[in-house]
């Protein structure tokens, strides 16, 4: 009888709580100052490193569902932070790119969020930090592998995987 269980010490719970806490702290930066959602912030941040990209490109690298990216981009466009042009080679694709205004906003936000990151990084030793990242990557890999291995018990109902769309 495993009536022994402590939620507070349960790894997934701890992880979720910390992640929510960090997200809140972060959203307090870009949300308050520029009225951006998490999705919008991620899209902007990704665009900084890449040139013009499609919704599909963004989706994969930013870990957001398709409709969420699409809506984030639309809103960012309304605010003049990104540009949406029909792709000239493939008519379905949309070429999304940062505007100058978007770049300016990022230049304001990035130092702030880097400040949050620095606060966290400085609160622990460098080796601890390195270990933390290493563990995160390890788990990421483990979960990816697990997920890839177990679409045999699929079709059970309530299957959360994405439809016929995954690359």
**Which residues of the shown chain bind DNA in the complex (CB under 7 A)?**
37-39, 54-57, 59, 64-71, 73-74, 84, 87, 90-94, 160, 162-165, 167
Closest by CA to 94, choosing from 46, 61, 50, 58, is 58
Examine residue 8 and tell whether it contacts a copy of itself (CB under 8 A).
yes
Q: How far apart are CA 54 and CA 35, in angstroms?
A: 23
Report the half-sphere exposure of 132 (CA within 13 A, side-chain side): 10
The least CB distance from residue 86 to a copy of itself, in Å, is 26
Nearer to a copy of itself, 90 or 103 (CB): 103
**From the CB of 91, what's the least distance to a copy of itself, in Å?**
29
Give me the half-sphere count of Cα atoms (radius 13 Å) on the Cβ side of residue 38: 12
Q: Which residue(s) pair with 83 in the sheet?
A: 97
The conformation of residue 53, written as its DSSP 8-state character, comes to: B
Select from DNA, a copy of itself, none the partner in contact with residue 106, using the beta carbon and a kind-dependent cut-off of 5 to 8 Å: a copy of itself
Looking at the Cβ atoms of 3 and 63, the one nearer to DNA is 63
Residue 95 phi/psi, 5-degree rounding, is -90, 110
Region 50-69 residues binding a copy of itself, contact defined as CB under 8 A: 61-63
Instruction: Print the binding letters for residues 108-137 with a copy of itself: x by CB under 8 A, - otherwise.
Output: --xx-xx-xx-xxx-xx---xx-xxxxxx-
- Residue written as token pair 């933390």: 132
Q: Which residue number, 89 or 157, has a Cβ lying nearer to a copy of itself?
A: 157
β-bridge partners, 53: 96
Site for a copy of itself in 66-95 (CB under 8 A): none
What single DSSP character describes residue 7?
A: G
Q: Which is nearer to DNA, 46 or 68 (CB)?
A: 68
């Amino acid at each position: 009888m495993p009536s022994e269980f402590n939620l507070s010490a349960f790894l997934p719970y701890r992880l979720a709580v910390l992640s929510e806490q960090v997200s809140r702290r972060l959203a307090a930066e870009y949300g308050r100052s520029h009225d951006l959602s998490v999705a919008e912030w991620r899209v902007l941040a990704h665009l900084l490193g890449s040139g013009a990209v499609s919704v599909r490109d963004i989706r994969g690298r930013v870990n957001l569902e398709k409709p969420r990216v699409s809506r984030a981009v639309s809103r960012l466009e309304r605010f003049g932070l990104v540009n949406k042009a029909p792709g000239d080679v493939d008519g379905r694709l949309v070429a999304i790119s940062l505007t100058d205004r978007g770049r300016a906003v990022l230049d304001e936000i990035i130092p702030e969020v880097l400040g949050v990151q620095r606060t966290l990084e400085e609160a622990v030793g460098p080796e601890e930090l390195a270990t933390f990242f290493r563990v995160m990557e390890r788990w990421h890999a483990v979960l990816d592998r697990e997920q890839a291995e177990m679409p045999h018990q699929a079709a059970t109902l309530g299957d959360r995987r994405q439809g016929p769309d995954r690359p």
